[in-house]
Amino acid sequence: MIRIEITVAAAVYLSLSILLVIVLWIFYNCNKKEENPINDATHLEQCRYCAHVFFNYLDKEIVVCPLCKSYIETNTIARHP
């Protein structure tokens, strides 16, 4: 029978657990094909009155600024060819 100390067994167990988490993290991040909405500038709008920048995910023609609550007309036709 192989004798092993408890500290060596704990170190091996923790090392293998950490290695498994790293491998799974790399696997899920490399296979991800979703678009990142933060890097997608097509949904960005800027208020003409207070210069607040916000996202317009619904692509509405008239949106409300979340900061000053003013109505803004967007140009959705020029943005989407």
H or E element, residue 53: strand 53-55
- Domain limits, the chain: 1-33, 41-79
| Residue 9 CB-density burial (10 A; 0-12 exposed, 13-18 middle, 19+ buried) | exposed
pLDDT band at 81 (very low <50, low <70, confident <90, very high): very low
Mean pLDDT (the chain, rounded): 83
Inform me whether the pLDDT recorded for 79 exceeds 90: no
pLDDT digits (tens, 9 = 90+) for 46-75: 899 999 998 888 878 899 999 999 999 886
Q: Which residues pair with 45 in a beta bridge?
A: 54
